[in-house]
Structures are given as structure tokens and as C-alpha cells.
Amino acid sequence: MSTEKDRVVIFDTTLRDGEQSPGATMTHDEKLEIAELLDDMGVDIIEAGFPIASEGDFRAVSEIAQRSKQAVICGLARAQLPDIDRCWEAVKQSERPRIHTFIGTSPLHRAIPNLTMDEMAERIHETVTHARNLCDNVQWSPMDATRTEWDYLCRVVEIAIKAGATTINIPDTVGYTAPVESADLIRKLIETVPGGDEVVFATHCHNDLGMATANALAAVAGGARQIECTINGLGERAGNTALEEVVMALKVRGDIMPYYTEIDTKKIMHISRRVSTVSGFPVQFNKAIVGKNAFAHESGIHQDGMLKNAETFEIMRPEDVGIAGTSLPLGKHSGRAALRAKLKDLGVEVGDNQLKDIFVRFKDLADRKKEVFDDDILALVTATTDGDSNRLELVNLRVVCGTGGPAEAQLEMEVDGQDQSATCHGDGPVDACFKAVRELHPNKARLQLYQVHAVTEGTDAQATVSVRLEEDGIIATGQSADTDTVVASVRAYIQALNRLMVRRSKMGPGADTREISYKEMG
């Protein structure tokens, strides 16, 4: 029988560590939406942001704290009193707030603020004590713990526990450790540090060597009872431990890992798709659990086995993670009620106005495609959930291209309510179209990312296009789907420009767009 000691707490940091991935910045409304989905899915703790990093981050964390229903809402703070005070201001309206404070303890990280071992130890005591005086639920992290000297790591963990930390998180900040080391480190800390058996130990792994999931599960075997993770493994560099991977590993392999979580796994696929959309980071096809090919079988031997018994090549069912088992049995004669019912089956709840917009797009798509699949419908939802005000709108587009010369784009676009048109030539249809957009709306935005993925199969498949733009340190993404790849490209580019303008206006003229540097931690 499972006990509380067998339970693994899921700490999701998609909105903090995940959003730090270059280009993954989310809008305020998108953060609120993702937080609500995480809460609804059963995530125990949501690290909603880094309140002192910007006014926008503070507002997002504060509003998420007010809206949370079940989850603990956590904010991140450096080992500085103003950081901790700002963090508390943001999370204190949650029914279950947490302050998470950290400092880099390895030799490389101690050198950045130029602190001696003793000076850092004193800083840890002072800041954790201050956080605990504000909040009963305090988490402390020695950043780059896996490269910190063993004796010093034990010393600072003991200081944090005595100062009142209730959770000790051990981060593998650069993805350096291996599973056997991960398990051994947690086990030894619990056994060695006074008070180690009275607090919760957590693990926070990065995927630089592709071992984040393995390291997190090994840490649980070593005694950790909290896993820090993100949806789709989103995060800096190679990313973080993927929530969907550790949760499903514990569920499927309970025979050798007798632990459990409170996650409603049937909601995994929906939130995975939504995070991919708002972050602009497509999920790789062969990604475990949530990738497009995770439950696809092409080999003849595999297909034969699947037809006879699905368990021959599937260790979990698609339905376990929220993947519908059938294609969408709707067509151009289907009504609005049928579309709403299908959306509900896919885990998507929409209001009447949004349904109306999706239905118009659905009818248009059904006229152009022989078969409309579930993924096609989800792509339509993606195209109609952008809450930003749009100063730019695509009105009409005509493209001429081929082998005989440069491509030509004749673009008609609504700019601040007025129709304008331009004709431009370029090295291919997309280049010509983007030049036409820039002619009608001059800008200095740099194209950081342009990706195209087919939503389904066939020559009439919708293409999902992702665009990421950067201008003066502000990053915005756009995503759109259409059976015409060029149209999807233009819409995604325009959406990114609209978001860029919204973010610039919210920050104000002369706003400081830089990120907090490590030197400011001193």
C-alpha cells in the first residue's frame, strides 16, 4: 500500500526556468493560462517566475498566486534581502506560498560575487532566516551543487536547514552528473547532514548530457521526494528534466520505482501542445511521451505485433497521456455542436466567441482537405488564441515563383486599420513576402527562428510555421497553420510583429531589457 513517504512532489518550473530558454518568453496572459493548466493537472508546486527580474514577472507571479486553486505558488529570489522581499510581495496572496532562494556554491560560482566560503555561509544564514521570517515554506538551492566540494556542500546545507529551510533542492545546474552520482549524493546528504532526515530533498537536473530524466529518477531512489521539471523539458541550453517523462516513468515502472505522483496524466498532451505553441518551441517528433512519433509504428514487424496485441510494442496507452485514439470524424457538413464536442474530447474548452472563430476556420479547412484530423483542429485552436491586440492583419496575398527568376509577392495588409499594399521580390516566396511586410511596416526586428512542420500527412496537410523575432533585446514568437505554407509563414511573421509591438509598448521608451547578470548576485 502506498504511503506519503512514497509520494513524489512535482515542482514545475516551466514559467521560470523554462521561460529562461532564449526565445521562449511568454506573454502575461499566456503565463496565466499555463499556470491554470498546471494547477488543473495536479502539479504540486508552480514556480511562477522571478519577481525581481522585471515588473512583468512580478505581476505574473502575483496574479498567479491570487488565482491558484490547489498548487503551492513559488517565486525565485537570489540570496539578497531585496530579492526575497520582492518575492514575498508577489507570492503572499497565495493560499500556499513558497519562497525559493538560491546562491551558487561551487568554486566557479563563488568566484562570480567574489565571496569567501565563510562570507557565503553567512549570506546563506542571513537570507534563509529572512525568508523564513516571512514565509513558513522556504526552499533553498546551492546552485551548481554537483560541482561543489563535498564538505562545503554539507556545511551550507546544514546552515540552510538550521536557518529554517523546509526544502533543500540539489541542482545539477549544468547537467554534469550521472545517475549513480545523483542517487549517491542525495543519499549521503540525508544521512550526513544534521536535520537532513527532517526536510524534503529535491532534485533539479539539466539535460546537457541527455541524462536529466535518469538523474532525477536516480535522485528519487536516493531519497529525494521532489522533482523539479518543465513541460516538454523546456529550459536553458539542452533543457530541464521533462515532467511528462518522470511522471510516466514512475507510473509505468512502479515495479522497480514504488513511488507515485498526483498528476492527472491524461492532461499531459494538451498542456504539452499549448506550451509548445506559446513558447514557439516545437516538440521534436521522437520526443518521449509527447512527440508526434511516440505512439507511431511504421516497421512491418511492429505493425503486425500492434495489430495482434498493442502491448507487444506499447508500454503505455496513448489515452494515458491524453492522445485521442481516432481521427476526427468531422467534415464540411459538421455543425458547431459537433466541433465543440470534439474540442472537449481533446481537452480544449473554448468560449462562444472563440468557437465561432474556430468554426469559420474549420469550415474553410474542410473545404480544402479530404480528411480533417484531430491535430488539424488543434492547429486551428492555436491560430485563434492570440489575445494580443493586432495592429497588423493579413488581408490578401498573391505569390508568383518558379525557376525562371526571383519570387514576387503582392501583399495587401491592414496597418492600424488602413489597407495598404506592396509588391516585393525575393530569394524565394517567403523572403519576398517578409520583405513586403517590412515595406508596409518598417522594423529592425531580426529573424532568429523560422521553422515549418507538417501538422498531418498528405499533400493537403496543414503546415505549422513558427517565427521568432528579436529587436533591441525584446523577443517575440508567432505561430500559424495553413494548408498554404507561405500564408502560414506570413501570418506567423505578422503575429510575431504584433507581439513585439505589444511588449515594447508595455515596457515603455528607454526600458531596460537586459537580464539580471550573475555579477549582480554579489
* pLDDT-based confidence at residue 389 (cuts at 50, 70, 90): low
Q: Which three cell numbers stand for residue 195?
A: 536535520
| Ranges for all domains in the chain classified under CATH 3.30.160.270 | 392-507
| Ranges for all domains in the chain classified under CATH 3.20.20.70 | 4-279
Tell me the average pLDDT of the chain: 87
Name the most confidently modeled range: 50-54, 160-164, 414-418, 462-466: 160-164
Cα four-point dihedral sign 75, 80, 85, 86: negative
CA distance 200 to 76: 18
| Contact predicate 338/330, CB 8 Å | yes
CA distance 416 to 390: 8
Whether residue 240 is annotated as binding a ligand: the answer is yes
Q: Point out which residues pair with 413 in neighbouring strands.
A: 394, 420
Amino acid in position 239: G
Q: Which three cell numbers stand for residue 131?
A: 525568508
* pLDDT-based confidence at residue 278 (cuts at 50, 70, 90): confident
* pLDDT-based confidence at residue 381 (cuts at 50, 70, 90): confident
Residue found by looking up cell 526600458 in the block: 511
Segments in 441-515 forming alpha helices (H): 485-507
* pLDDT-based confidence at residue 358 (cuts at 50, 70, 90): confident
pLDDT at 295 (0 to 100): 79
Name the most confidently modeled range: 144-148, 307-311, 328-332: 144-148
| 230-264 tens-digit pLDDT | 999 999 999 999 999 999 999 999 999 999 999 99
The residue among 13 and 340 whose pLDDT is bigger is 13
* Burial class for 198, CB neighbours closer than 10 Å (0-12, 13-18, 19+): exposed
Backbone angles phi, psi at 473, to 5 degrees: 85, -5
Segment (H or E) for 9: strand 9-12
| 125-140 tens-digit pLDDT | 999 999 999 999 999 9
Instruction: Specify the CATH class of 392-507 in words.
Output: alpha beta
Q: Which three cell numbers stand for residue 331?
A: 467534415
Of 114-123, 161-170, 447-456, the poorest mean pLDDT is in: 447-456
pLDDT at 302 (0 to 100): 37
* pLDDT-based confidence at residue 518 (cuts at 50, 70, 90): very low
pLDDT at 353 (0 to 100): 83
Q: Residue 49: helix, strand or coil by DSSP?
A: strand
CB hemisphere CA count around 456 (13 angstroms)? 21
| Contact predicate 220/227, CB 8 Å | yes
pLDDT at 522 (0 to 100): 38
29 has pLDDT over 90: no
Residue found by looking up cell 553567512 in the block: 122
Of 154-168, 267-281, 317-331, the poorest mean pLDDT is in: 317-331
297 has pLDDT over 50: no
| 191-235 tens-digit pLDDT | 999 999 999 999 999 999 999 999 999 999 999 999 999 999 999
The residue among 153 and 469 whose pLDDT is bigger is 153
- For residues 179-186, average pLDDT: 98
* pLDDT-based confidence at residue 386 (cuts at 50, 70, 90): low
Does the pTM of the predicted model rise above 0.95?
A: no
For residue 514, CA distances in Å to 140, 472, 500, 503, 511 come to 26, 9, 16, 14, 9
CA distance 11 to 47: 7
477 has pLDDT over 50: yes
Cα four-point dihedral sign 521, 146, 257, 188: negative
- For residues 368-376, average pLDDT: 74
- The CATH H-level superfamily of 4-279 is Aldolase class I (3.20.20.70)
Q: Across the beta sheet with 407-415, what order do the strands follow?
A: 392-400, 407-415, 418-426
CA distance 292 to 276: 13
* pLDDT-based confidence at residue 37 (cuts at 50, 70, 90): very high
CA distance 19 to 64: 15
Whether residue 130 is annotated as binding a ligand: the answer is no
| Contact predicate 73/94, CB 8 Å | yes
| Contact predicate 257/221, CB 8 Å | yes
* Burial class for 111, CB neighbours closer than 10 Å (0-12, 13-18, 19+): exposed
- For residues 488-500, average pLDDT: 92
Whether residue 352 is annotated as binding a ligand: the answer is no
Name the most confidently modeled range: 123-137, 396-410, 441-455: 123-137
pLDDT at 385 (0 to 100): 54
Whether residue 28 is annotated as binding a ligand: the answer is no
| Contact predicate 394/350, CB 8 Å | no
| 328-350 tens-digit pLDDT | 457 777 788 888 887 877 777 77
CA distance 87 to 62: 9
Segments in 94-236 forming alpha helices (H): 107-110, 117-134, 150-163, 179-192, 212-221
484 has pLDDT over 50: yes
Of 41-50, 148-157, 161-170, 370-379, the poorest mean pLDDT is in: 370-379
| 70-104 tens-digit pLDDT | 999 999 999 999 999 999 999 999 999 999 999 99
